Amino acid sequence: MKRHKYFLLFILFWLLINFFTASSLELYNDEAYYWMYSQFLDWGYFDHPPGVAIMIWLGSYFGKTEITVRLFNIVFTTVSISMIYSLAKPKNVLVFCTTIFSFFVLHLIGFISLPDTPFFLSAILFFICYRLYLKENSIRNEILLSLAAAAMIYCKYHGFVVIMFTLLSNVSLLKNYKIYLIGLMTMVWLSPHIYWQFVNAFPSISYHLADRAAPEYKIGQTLDYFFGNLPFLGGLVAIALFIASALFKPTNLWEKALKWNLFGMYIFFFLITFKGQFIEPNWTLFCVFPMLLLGFKYMEQSRFFKSYKYLTFVFAFIMLILRFHMIWPLVEFRKDRIWDFRGGKEFSKNVKTLAGDHKIAANRYQDASILNFYLDEPYYITSLNINSRANQYSIWHLDTTLCGERVAFINGNSKGIEIPYRIFSKRYLSITDRIAIKNCQ
């Protein structure tokens, strides 16, 4: 019981530090974009399934602030960590807590509203349901497993990868007709999203499988993933747990599925780099789950545990300093991503002042989303995507509000009046009636 008290104190601290961080920083560009998703609830979006939109929409019942956009993101991450603790049953709770605090990626999803957060939670629920299914092959557990599988995919398409490696870890499942019934039920739950994709000409499939790949392969994409992904997740702590997970010998099919997913996912995305795809570090977030279960379990029983304990103390302290730096910057340098959480509100205010009575449009979906969140206009500011990739604004066709209007156009091409944007960056505003609006023709 005393051990649980330590974890409760940790989770309370985790909640408080995330609420404070979330309320102290402005929205990141992608968060504003996903907030726009929540203004147009649908069964799908250009870049992602609807999970992140629903998460942000739930918070909107409490108002329109940075904290409400991030509210359920904080709740979901906290629930995920609590579930991992319950499954891991660590002997040394203090070191388990410092291990969690050492993972940089958990700090990011701890307060930033991203699709990865509901996906992480739903993937953990999928594995809980899979364990129930392995213990008892009942109708109830089959339905629960199909719902959990669908929930994963509704949050992020990485759910297909998790399902694939779970099946590969236990190929005997493919001999059981019930697994096909579970697959059929999963497709039934997913049918509204599939229909949305069909009606919109499958934009997500085209984007993720083809459009976002680079024109040609560069070895830097592979090297960046190979050497950078684990350190991004949790520095030397993640590397230590990754090695420990490799040495861990599963004792049952559930642990085997976790191990297959951990290494299968890393290999899968490693191979994806060879098609010219840059792998975003958060895409392997799910791997934190098996590392915390398998790797930590092995580490607790190893002769290196004392050294590992001090390693977690060091990296937990580094993460605490980074949190402090995010809120109260200790130094200034151009490529520091903390500036992505500053300047949006002031930028929006300056745009409104310079635009006057003219309607506003941006060229980039990130700028349009920031302006929509921080300005209360009677219309939604659109993104025109001139010489830029397609996105959800391409589906919404909000540009029809600009037909016949002189427009205050926000761009990044040195055309017009300079406006400070984020620190070390700027945008330009020009008043024009020469913007071609396709949907006005």
Residue type for position 176? N
Q: What is the pLDDT of residues 226-243, one digit of tens each?
A: 888 999 999 999 999 999
Q: Is the pLDDT of residue 1 over 70?
A: no
Q: Which pLDDT tens digit goes with each residue over 57-96?
A: 999 999 999 999 999 999 999 999 999 999 999 999 999 9
Q: Which helix (H) or strand (E) holds 112?
A: none
Task: Kindly report, residue by residue over 422-440, the tens digit of the pLDDT.
Answer: 888 899 999 887 666 666 6
Using 50, 70 and 90 to split pLDDT, how confident is the model at 333?
Answer: confident
422's enclosing H/E stretch is none
DSSP 332-382: --TT-GGGGGSSHHHHHHHHHHHHTTSEEEESSHHHHHHHHHH---SSPPE
pLDDT per position as a tens digit, 293-328: 999 999 999 999 999 999 999 999 999 999 999 999
Residue found under tokens 């071609």? 436
Q: State the Cα–Cα distance between residues 363 and 387, nearest whole angstrom.
A: 9
State residue 207's pLDDT score.
86
Q: What is the pLDDT of residue 401?
A: 79
- State the chain's mean pLDDT as an integer: 92
Give the gyration radius of the chain's Cα atoms. 23
pLDDT of residue 438: 65
Residue 3 in this model has a pLDDT that exceeds 80: no
Do 342 and 26 form a contact (C-beta atoms < 8 A)? Answer: yes
Contacts of 5 (CB under 8 A, 6+ apart): none
Spatial separation of the C-alpha atoms in residues 433 and 358, rounded to whole Å: 10
What is the arithmetic mean of pLDDT over 398-413? Answer: 85
- The pair phi, psi for residue 427, each rounded to 5°, is -130, 175
pLDDT tens string 149-198: 999 999 999 999 999 999 999 999 999 999 999 999 999 999 999 999 99
pLDDT band at 441 (very low <50, low <70, confident <90, very high): low
Do 62 and 68 contact (CB within 8 A), yes or no? yes
Coil, helix or strand for 411? strand
User: pTM of the full predicted structure?
Assistant: 0.95
Mean pLDDT within 366-383? 93
- Residues 6 or more apart from 405 whose CB is under 8 A from it? 358, 359, 433
Please compute the mean of the pLDDT values over residues 14-28 and round it to a whole number.
96
Q: Which of 6-10, 140-144, 329-333 has the lowest mean pLDDT?
A: 329-333
Nearest to 126 by CA among 85, 178, 97, 164: 164
Output helix, strand, coil percentages for the chain, rounded to the nearest 5.
70, 5, 25
Predicted local confidence at residue 432, as pLDDT: 81
